[in-house]
Amino acid sequence: MDAQLDDEALENTLAESLADLVATDVAPADLVPGAKTVSEDEFVEVVGGALEAVGGTLLFKMCVENEGEAQHVAAASVGDGGNRQFLLLSLPTSGGALKVETTAKSTNPVAGIAAAYAGLMDAFQAAA
């Protein structure tokens, strides 16, 4: 993947890879709106597939309540060094569409943690 992709192109690429996963039934059926509660494992499976398609790396995942709704949230990075971009992927635990956005454009409170977490991991790797 070209490290110079702008935010919108990166979001669109991930959205397309997710649509492909759902269209080929690779994504769990529980991600379909109106289905049962989405487990953390199912969320990780879909996020992992989407990130693999764009060469991204999962930074962390958590389940939080945002605007009164429980949701799975994952932060990811794409690219290296100064070209690294941070993504936030979120999905209501009740199912529905996976939302993919760059942390720079996200209003989700978890978005601010992604870059700091990546910096911490970089420091740990350098020290190891």
CB 86 within 8 A of CB 112: no
- Residue 57 in any domain: the answer is yes
Rounded to two decimals, the pTM is: 0.72
- Residue 2 in any domain: the answer is no
Q: What is the pLDDT of residues 39-84, one digit of tens each?
A: 899 899 888 888 888 888 899 999 998 888 899 999 998 888 778 8
Number of structural domains in the chain: 1
- Residue 123 in any domain: the answer is yes
Q: How far apart are CA 104 and CA 68, in angstroms?
A: 23
- Residue 1 in any domain: the answer is no
- Residue 59 in any domain: the answer is yes
CB 10 within 8 A of CB 87: yes
For the chain, helix (H) and strand (E) counts, in that order, are 3, 4
- Residue 66 in any domain: the answer is yes
